[in-house]
Copies of this chain bind each other. A is one copy, B any other.
């Protein structure tokens, strides 16, 4: 919930209007993606968890799947510039201060992506574990990323995104030996918030676990295209 605690009638009404307008656009996006058999992933994490690094490592390996990326940031086009080196089409959404992506931002940047030539659209949200959680972007799946360096308590402290995600990705596993990282405790905390949530563990730096991430995406594409084509 990216909102103040002002509980005035007027404020509650405006907030409801904003969320309803977002949901309407998200519904329209979702129908369009479904008609084209495009799998849409909404990647959400804290700043610095390694969303862009994971995509840098994997975008070039998803062939023959056709992939594009919409990447959201408060400022700068740096992430889009990093991701374009992989050769896939990338559009940057600069939110200019707003702490999350909204469906209208995705819709207004879709023209930069050729949807006729697409199997997977990856939306990299603004680095923020709270606010992006509330905004439907028309995605099939929310993916929450958490790095080994952030602490095992994060699922308990930010339960909404772990509750709504369909998969959790634990990044920077190569750093675990240098931390007081308790893997069993993290898994226990995830399980407490979202029983049965699949967890993929990987390192974009060493490549460990990357195959399972690629396999997870391929399976999701098959499910989506099997259902709609």
Contacts and interface: CB of A to CB of B under 8 A. Distances in A.
A88 interface: no
Given A46-B127, A99-B131, A131-B130, A78 B153 contact: yes
Given A127-B46, A130-B128, A158-B75, A98 B6 contact: no
Interface stretch (A11-19, A116-124, A215-223): A11-19
A43 to B, nearest CB: 15
B127 A1 contact: no
A179 B22 CA distance: 39
Interface residues of A, number: 53
Nearest to A99: B130
A97 B47 contact: no
A65 interface: no
A100 to B, nearest CB: 8
Given A157-B73, A175-B178, A11 B1 contact: no
A104 B5 contact: yes
A169 interface: no
Contacts of A159: 74-75
A170 B156 CA distance: 25
A133 to B, nearest CB: 9
B5 A74 contact: no
Nearest to A104: B5
17 contacts: A1-B97, A2-B4, A2-B99, A4-B18, A5-B104, A10-B10, A46-B48, A46-B127, A48-B147, A74-B130, A74-B157, A97-B160, A127-B129, A128-B128, A130-B131, A131-B131, A175-B179
Given A1-B98, A47-B154, A78-B156, 4 more contacts: A6-B18, A73-B157, A127-B158, A128-B129
